[in-house]
Structure 1
């Protein structure tokens, strides 16, 4: 508390404008003293401080002449007590003083992001390893030491290999879905543009919770090769069993088109190669394709699609854009 703030509190007290906490504080100070006691401050220099504070109080307070001597003595003692509080930084005063400054320790957060066509791997302070897919970002504290849980925020897709720590659950936040584990490996797919948020477990056990529009919480527990999928449109959480590890294709450098439309395939190409795809004809968007490519270059994928459709062609445009044209004749 600064001297200016102290003077402000004295002014409020003498004019009867203290709030409840301030009044309780001052009453508590006064309760420790009575009029039969000797003055608390006896040193000449400190008595001058008393007199100065007393004169400031008198300016703010009107006192009848017949009671002035006793009141002056009482207010000198009040002033002395307040000065002592100022110099000793009383713990009680600190807790209730409305002017006390609160030290805020800012927790440093780190954000790692990937552009379209990029993938990266990072290791957190606790030993957790994260593989981040293209067009994704993850936010986490510089250290988990001051926290009871290990919380991170994910946009996009990532594969987690969480370091075991039974005392600190690892929690991934993705929109209105949270995934909690103690130590395991699993994949989370939560792109903004996707209609679903999915969590697929490779090893260990995972708890997945979703909150619907009514605020109700749905909780499921997943074992290896199980997936929980939250439908943004249907506002529901559904579990299923996965027959293989295709959900890790992106991590293993594999592009897989499982009888999907060209429109869906174009979004995968955008994520994988960082390109934009345009269609000369809207009908091309509804063509279907089934194919698998492992660590293939873009022109290899395009030539393969061209050969398989027997009618589709492509053209490189400016601004890293590919134009699909022609038709699909399987």
Structure 2
């Protein structure tokens, strides 16, 4: 039976950068011996590494290596990978993820002399289902990434002018103040521009709405479509934007109700069962059904913890609302008890 090697990209990068343990070197050797294609991939990657060293000073290598080592420590709760918008350099971007230098991929491993543009190297931090991840960006900004969400930023241009990150899903930001270099969260529906503040953003690409809640400071909301001008949001305000009809709603809210998830808690105050179900589906990666559909209008208040399992969450709903449940084919059905 063929052995399943996991994280082989990381293993290669640690070996060619001199950071692999004896056990990891032994595992890598087993992988190389398993197939000729594995050996070829390793040799080509090592060649790319060797060629790149002549183009980067030792000071640059050490600086980038230190930065990636620090990033790796901060991102233990998430998943880090190098990605590129140019598909032909994707593999080398992946195998040189960490702890090697940001600028290592100067040569492709097909023997060519093409140079890689550092502006095309990106770092993605994602949070797996049922977990909240926290990371620290190069400028010191702290980011909490909700379950099933991800943040991407350009490793070369970040903190050089505009500090820009792309968000898919939900994240909470505590942005390091820097009036000269604005911080911008880019999403599919709207962007959030700040210089230093704390705020939450919900922007799923498959959703027809965008939401941001400001905890403190100031943010500028910029719309990607329609004729709306930029809008300044004040602390304690929640902005919900519907791009389909260019509708915008501003509410005064308790920010903690919308940001408590970063502590592994979900707080609901006069929320509908539909709202609750939407969050539980994201946390537990399971489909809910309501019988009848009008059950979704039931008002609910309470707290759920990410540490609770699915059954504990369902039992809490049952005890507080009288709504029963059953699980069939990995799907949850909620129904009103007689």
Structure 1 residues not aligned, in runs of 5+: 1-100
Name the structure 1 match of 2:128.
Answer: 115
Pick aligned residue for 1:301 from 296, 307, 313: 313
Could you tell me whether the CA contact under 8 Å between 1:284 and 1:327 is conserved in 2?
no
Q: CA-to-partner distance for each residue in 1:175-204, whole Å, 9 max, x for gaps?
A: 131111111111111123433211211121
Name the structure 2 match of 1:142.
Answer: 155
Q: How many residues align?
A: 223
TM-score by length of 1: 0.60
Q: Structure 1 residues 167 and 159 mapped into 2: Cα distance closer, same or farther (>3 Å)?
A: same
Task: Find the aligned partners of 2:311 and 2:337 in 1 and give their Cα distance.
Answer: 18
Name the structure 2 match of 1:240.
Answer: 251
Q: Note the aligned Cα RMSD (angstroms).
A: 2.6
Report the Cα offset of residue 246 of structure 1: 0.8
Matches within 5 A, 1:99-110: 105-107=117-119, 108-110=121-123
TM-score by length of 2: 0.59
Could you tell me whether the CA contact under 8 Å between 2:189 and 2:224 is conserved in 1?
yes
Q: Is 1:255 paired with 2:258? A: no
Q: Structure 1 residues 262 and 217 mapped into 2: Cα distance closer, same or farther (>3 Å)?
A: closer
Structure 2 residues not aligned, in runs of 5+: 1-112
Task: Find the aligned partners of 1:135 and 1:147 in 2 and give their Cα distance.
Answer: 29
Could you tell me whether the CA contact under 8 Å between 1:118 and 1:274 is conserved in 2?
no
User: What is the SS of the residue equivalent to 2:317?
Assistant: helix
Report the Cα offset of residue 122 of structure 1: 0.8
Larger-Rg structure: 1
User: What is the SS of the residue equivalent to 1:135?
Assistant: coil
User: What is the SS of the residue equivalent to 1:125?
Assistant: coil
Could you tell me whether the CA contact under 8 Å between 2:122 and 2:153 is conserved in 1?
yes
Task: Find the aligned partners of 1:176 and 1:316 in 2 and give their Cα distance.
Answer: 35
Q: Is 1:207 paired with 2:220? A: yes
Name the structure 1 match of 2:98.
Answer: none
